[in-house]
Structure 1
Amino acid sequence: MRISSILSLAALVSISSAKPSGCGKNFPEGFPTPGSSKTIDLPNSDRSYRIHIPENYDVNRRTPVYFSFCGASRNGKEQEGLSQFSNPEFNPDGIAVYPEIWLSNSLANTSHPNDVDFTNDLLTHLEEKLCVDPSRIYANGKSNGGEFAAVIACNATVGSRFAAFSVVSGAWHETGDVPGVGPCEPAMREEGYPFLIFHGTVDQTAPIDGSKEDDEVSLIDVLHKWTERNGCEKDAKWKSNVTVFEDPLVKHASWDCAGKKDIVQFYREEDNGHCWPSTVPNDDYETMGRKKCPGGHYVFNATEYIFDFYKQHRLNQMV
């Protein structure tokens, strides 16, 4: 893998202290006008991505960037509609990016172009063209795209450019030395790797307790691995496990690790399937039907919780 080498701490600090080269430049040609979205080809590649520029974008103000990766057989435009990351109700000030990824899980055919390199190159491209805040770059994904967000976190180079991660209905496969993400060698950094995970108890596509038939692991194993990576002891118990909603039952668990408060969090959704939680019907509920998304909608908006989580985390060395 082209970017698999681990960066030294000094190299990370050097990279993070550089002024974003896109700040102060004229608004780039070919990008969507502020307040709109557009699918764009990444220069010097055969890859594309969809991007939304907030209406209040300022070429002189550093702007957070939110990546959201689609699930298998889906595309960036569908992920935009599903995640609602472009909706100013949830994200009034940030750039939302929906890469057209091919290798959306660790079991994918590696003869295809590498999505990790694509993500790294895309982020560099955005920093060159737009006034990006390098301390506030975030990764999210649904299903296989969620697993890919974890693959990014496990890469010492590109993962170190992201402040926090969130996963909705992740498909966690058993590969390598770490359940769900294969070999995991993130760079050491003081902020750790904040993770927020959502999963429904009646998810038949990516069962919460795993599936031997599809080599998918239990979500609790995934959570324990990320608490370990953040400095907790093996199989650490959550510091709290509270009821958020009674009907259907939604429970929220969180972990403090090595002095990092609520560094790993989990929402367990009773009576929800392989569906992005939303108080109004979305593409998941409309296309998957009641068998996978029994309620037609849910009792909370995952997107609202994701952005609240992201606000709590930034890369300190980049301030």
Structure 2
Amino acid sequence: MNLTFLLSLAALATVGTAKTPGCGKNIPSRWPSAGSSASLNLPGTDRQYRLYIPANYDKNTPTAVYFSFHGASGTMKKQEALSQFSNSLFNPNGIAVYPDSKNGYWLSNPNADTSRPNDLDFTNDLLSHIEEKLCIDQSRIYSAGKSNGGGFTSVIACNATVGSRFAAFASVSGAYYDTDEVDGIGPCEPAERAEGYPFLEFHGTTDTTAPMDGNTKSNPKLPVIDMLQGWATRNGCGDQPQWASNETIYTNPLVKHVSWDCNGKDGIVQHYREGENGHCWPSTIGNSDYVKHPDQCPLGKYVYNATEYIFDFFEKYQLDQ
């Protein structure tokens, strides 16, 4: 083989993979070693986050990154235990990041601290910091969250600066507020991109914290269908999008799976409607949601793991670089 042909093969091998300045560097000494997690401070700020590095991390191999945002009054440590993004059974190869909010709430929640730098700035700066220190695949960065953290995931996707860095999004029991007039957020105006904005949503039919049909209390929440239809429209399904499929995947309890095919992208918006489940992160073995909130989570566990479905969904998407 001649040198030109070998160089061509090398170039083809890197298509779709975007390396960062952290490639080739050793893991910083105060950071967790491969196969573990630790709580860290973002330099130059008073913000914290928790970082997990997989056991098979290689400083020369661009690695996917999965953000997991806690719910209202939650913490980064609780979210790590709840979402299980550091569990190699679900995430054998990726880096997991659990950001901590300023005061227990994320932007969109009326109780959130909106002062600058705000949560969107923090997320953007945190991602850049991690890319400086670790070998990150910029085409495979993802965001998920529970409750207020799920709503904030939608806020991230709506932001042209921050959202454009993430390949796909997922929300569990999301609390979706009207953000048009919220300081630091504004209307949902994501950057245009060929890949669209894949969005996966899980919601229990008996959720009273973030009701499926929304509410009109002092801090009103939008109906889940409004949020889903909004993402279907932004992904090219038109002003009055219709789902492509609505199927029953479990009968006891009743679980419906709804999917939108938009602009040639099958299943780019998806939703799981969970019967007999409330404001809970679905898990086949149970978790802190089921222990601490039996009124919301009466079954004690569920028929599937949302985390497994989230990683399967994320695996389908990456950014063109």
Shared fold (TM-score greater than 0.5)?
yes
1:270 aligns with 2:258: no
2:208 matched to which residue of 1? 204
Letter in 2 for 1:167: S
Of the three residues 144, 148, 153, the one matched with 2:157 is 153
1:98 matched to which residue of 2? 98
Cα RMSD of the aligned pairs, angstroms, is 1.6
1:1-319 map, 5 Å? 19-102=19-102, 103-106=105-108, 107=110, 108-111=112-115, 113-176=117-180, 183-213=187-217, 214-288=219-293, 290-316=294-320, 318=321
Are 2:17 and 2:139, in contact at CA under 8 Å, matched by a contact in 1? no
Structure 1 residues 109, 48: closer, same or farther in 2, change over 3 A? closer
Q: Mind listing any 5+ residue stretches in structure 1 that lack a counterpart?
A: 1-15
Give the superposition deviation at 1:182: 5.0
Give the superposition deviation at 1:222: 0.7
C-alpha distance in 2 between matches for 1:200 and 1:50: 28
Give the superposition deviation at 1:33: 0.8
Letter in 1 for 2:49: Y
**Structure with larger Rg:** 2
Structure 1 residues 18, 34: closer, same or farther in 2, change over 3 A? closer
Letter in 2 for 1:270: G
Are 1:66 and 1:96, in contact at CA under 8 Å, matched by a contact in 2? yes
Are 2:107 and 2:114, in contact at CA under 8 Å, matched by a contact in 1? no
Are 1:26 and 1:59, in contact at CA under 8 Å, matched by a contact in 2? yes
Are 2:18 and 2:62, in contact at CA under 8 Å, matched by a contact in 1? no
Identity of aligned residues (%): 61
Structure 1 residues 262, 53: closer, same or farther in 2, change over 3 A? same
Structure 1 residues 238, 18: closer, same or farther in 2, change over 3 A? closer
Q: Mind listing any 5+ residue stretches in structure 2 that lack a counterpart?
A: 1-15
C-alpha distance in 2 between matches for 1:277 and 1:182: 31
C-alpha distance in 2 between matches for 1:65 and 1:282: 23
State the TM-score, normalizing by the size of structure 2: 0.90
Are 1:255 and 1:262, in contact at CA under 8 Å, matched by a contact in 2? yes
